[in-house]
Copies of this chain bind each other. A is one copy, B any other.
Amino acid sequence: MGKNLTKRSEDYSRWYNELVIKADLAENSGVRGCMVIKPYGYAIWEKMQAELDRMFKETGHQNAYFPLFIPKSYLSREADHVEGFAKECAVVTHYRLKNAEDGSGVVVDPEAKLEEELIVRPTSETIIWDTYRKWIQSYRDLPVLVNQWANVVRWEMRTRLFLRTAEFLWQEGHTAHATKEEAIAEAEQMMEIYADFAENFMGVPVIKGVKSESERFAGAVETYCIEALMQDGKALQAGTSHFLGQNFAKAFDVKFAGKDGQQEYVWATSWGVSTRLMGALIMTHSDDNGLVLPPKLAPIQVVIVPIYKGEDQLEAISAHVEPLVKTLRSKGVSVKYDNRDTHKPGWKFNEYELKGVPVRLAIGPRDLENGTYEVARRDTLEKESVKGEDVVDRITFLLNEIQDNIYRKALNYREAHITKVDSFETFKDLLESKGGFLSAHWDGTSETEEAIKEQTKATIRCIPLDAGEEEGRCIYSGKPSKRRVLFAKAY
């Protein structure tokens, strides 16, 4: 197809890296581990943001904005939290540069040293709970349901575009509640919203569950998560929602007076999804020809390519296409009519396949004569000739059909890659030969989890919420277990 894209079967990881670059989604910057999100990639992220933001607001959340910087001492207040984030913090120590004496440029001005170092936020629980102390006095001030769209920094040593970058974009919800039950219900609600978004907008099937203790967020009592499966059999954590108990309220002394006048610590949640979702989106659906985008998140849903020789033919085609473009736009379909004369139709076909545009229309002189369009769908690459009077309906149908089809395809793949395993030998074999989620009994200890991880690189992705109780024995230790958990190698 002339795309020069490595095949997934040859080298999945290389295919991914090439695709992100070639489809103009993102690229590495001059700053180690930090990416540039290019306009086409950012347009997809904006569509994700818009849907998520709508869902958050419909469930009563409001947006706000908190400082980028966190005083170093704030981090230390919650013991698990600092343990989890101290090792990957960007630290601001000075607030001024000055000219180097040798004229070689600018150097840090040693006289402009901060009294207390500032951490570039890796997540905002500490600065936000320091603020909530001022906002919350009484039960009347609760719940506080706040979300923030922001950039965060975690100094990762090995980075990959979208999947793991030193700086990434995300949203982080931080809520405060009067009761434990209400906070747990909030954390569960947000996990459900993430699952709804992943499945019904991204077309990515996910498993809902809770994390084991060692995989929990630093400072959480319970971490709910949604886990997706990529085409190479590796799992990807697509979103997390944490029940934080009273940990941060205690660390930052946030109490409220109940109806009975009694002072009590506030209950908390936090929840987030990030530009990592872009990685999940790309890896779930795309193929050896390039991106495959779900119509609901595609910046361009329909592209129309004219095939012509000379100005006259182009004009005739353009005049014919114009009302169609208008009709589609009035129905909320985003359409691009690509009449550039700098590129040939074949080049354009390639380009829009690479960029995952769900539906492509082509129209040449013969189509014009016959009153037809050539309609191609990106997911299956099937083409058909459609009469002009039917084309709007056909496009509407196809956009729904593609959305459903890529979800079904991903779901079938996922279902075919959840395997019940009852021995460690089979576990190891399957992990190498097939990958996917391995549903296995586990004795519930961090030691066993760690040993399995060391020997196989597989981790417990989650304890699925819909897993019933089942008597069994841990595949590693042989000790009794009451339910299966899902293991996988993960991004």
| A86 adjacent to chain B (CB < 8 Å) | yes
Stretch at the interface among A126-134, A304-312, A410-418: A126-134
What are the interface flags for A146-169 relative to B under an 8 Å C-beta threshold, 1 for contact and 0 otherwise?
100011010100000000000101
| B63–A36 touching, CB < 8 Å | no
| A97–B87 touching, CB < 8 Å | yes
Closest to A100 in B: B76
Question: In chain A between 300 and 351, which residues have their CB closer than 8 angstroms to a CB of chain B?
Answer: 342
Most buried by B among A27, A39, A75: A39
| B37–A68 touching, CB < 8 Å | no
| B94–A93 touching, CB < 8 Å | yes
Nearest-Cβ distance from residue A199 to partner chain B, whole angstroms: 26
| A254 adjacent to chain B (CB < 8 Å) | no
What are the interface flags for A23-64 relative to B under an 8 Å C-beta threshold, 1 for contact and 0 otherwise?
000010111001111110011011000000000000000111
Q: What residues of chain B lie closer than 8 Å to A127, measured between beta carbons?
A: 29-31
Pick the contact of A151 from B72, B119, B151 — CB < 8 Å? B151
Pick the contact of A89 from B72, B97, B167 — CB < 8 Å? B97
| B95–A93 touching, CB < 8 Å | no
Q: What residues of chain B lie closer than 8 Å to A451, measured between beta carbons?
A: none
Closest to A38 in B: B64
Nearest-Cβ distance from residue A136 to partner chain B, whole angstroms: 13
Q: Known interface pairs A106-B75, A131-B36. Does A29 touch B91 (Cβ–Cβ under 8 Å)?
A: no
Interface of A is mostly: mixed
| A108–B82 touching, CB < 8 Å | no
| A184 adjacent to chain B (CB < 8 Å) | no
Question: In chain A between 89 and 106, which residues have their CB closer than 8 angstroms to a CB of chain B?
Answer: 89-99, 105-106
Nearest-Cβ distance from residue A55 to partner chain B, whole angstroms: 16
Closest to A37 in B: B65
Nearest-Cβ distance from residue A74 to partner chain B, whole angstroms: 7
Q: Known interface pairs A29-B127, A106-B82, A106-B86. Does A95 touch B155 (Cβ–Cβ under 8 Å)?
A: yes
Q: What residues of chain B lie closer than 8 Å to A134, measured between beta carbons?
A: 27
| A12 adjacent to chain B (CB < 8 Å) | no
Most buried by B among A92, A119, A153: A92
| A118 adjacent to chain B (CB < 8 Å) | yes
Q: Known interface pairs A64-B42, A66-B36, A71-B30. Does A96 touch B105 (Cβ–Cβ under 8 Å)?
A: no
| A69 adjacent to chain B (CB < 8 Å) | yes
| B94–A91 touching, CB < 8 Å | yes
Tally of chain A residues near chain B (CB < 8 A): 64
Closest to A85 in B: B97
Closest to A135 in B: B38
CA separation between A119 and B36, bound complex, in Å? 17
CA separation between A105 and B66, bound complex, in Å? 23
Q: What residues of chain B lie closer than 8 Å to A105, measured between beta carbons?
A: 72-73, 76, 82
| A70 adjacent to chain B (CB < 8 Å) | yes
| A68–B30 touching, CB < 8 Å | no
| A93–B119 touching, CB < 8 Å | no
| A119–B91 touching, CB < 8 Å | no
| B96–A88 touching, CB < 8 Å | yes
CA separation between A31 and B90, bound complex, in Å? 16
Nearest-Cβ distance from residue A137 to partner chain B, whole angstroms: 14
| A96–B106 touching, CB < 8 Å | no
Closest to A144 in B: B39
CA separation between A82 and B46, bound complex, in Å? 32
Q: What residues of chain B lie closer than 8 Å to A90, measured between beta carbons?
A: 69, 92, 94-95, 118
Q: Known interface pairs A63-B39, A92-B90, A120-B92. Does A68 touch B151 (Cβ–Cβ under 8 Å)?
A: yes
Q: What residues of chain B lie closer than 8 Å to A131, measured between beta carbons?
A: 27, 29-30, 36
| B94–A88 touching, CB < 8 Å | no
CA separation between A338 and B76, bound complex, in Å? 41
Closest to A61 in B: B39
CA separation between A230 and B74, bound complex, in Å? 38
| A288 adjacent to chain B (CB < 8 Å) | no
Q: What residues of chain B lie closer than 8 Å to A89, measured between beta carbons?
A: 95-97
Rank and list the top 5 A-B pairs by shortest CB-CB distance, nearest first.
Answer: A34-B67, A76-B105, A39-B62, A86-B97, A37-B65
* 15 A-B contact pairs sorted by A residue (CB < 8 Å): A29-B127, A29-B131, A30-B71, A34-B68, A36-B131, A39-B62, A43-B62, A68-B153, A86-B99, A87-B98, A88-B95, A89-B95, A91-B95, A93-B94, A108-B117
Given contacts A29-B130, A72-B105, 7 further A-B contacts (CB under 8 A): A30-B127, A34-B69, A39-B64, A87-B97, A89-B96, A91-B97, A92-B120
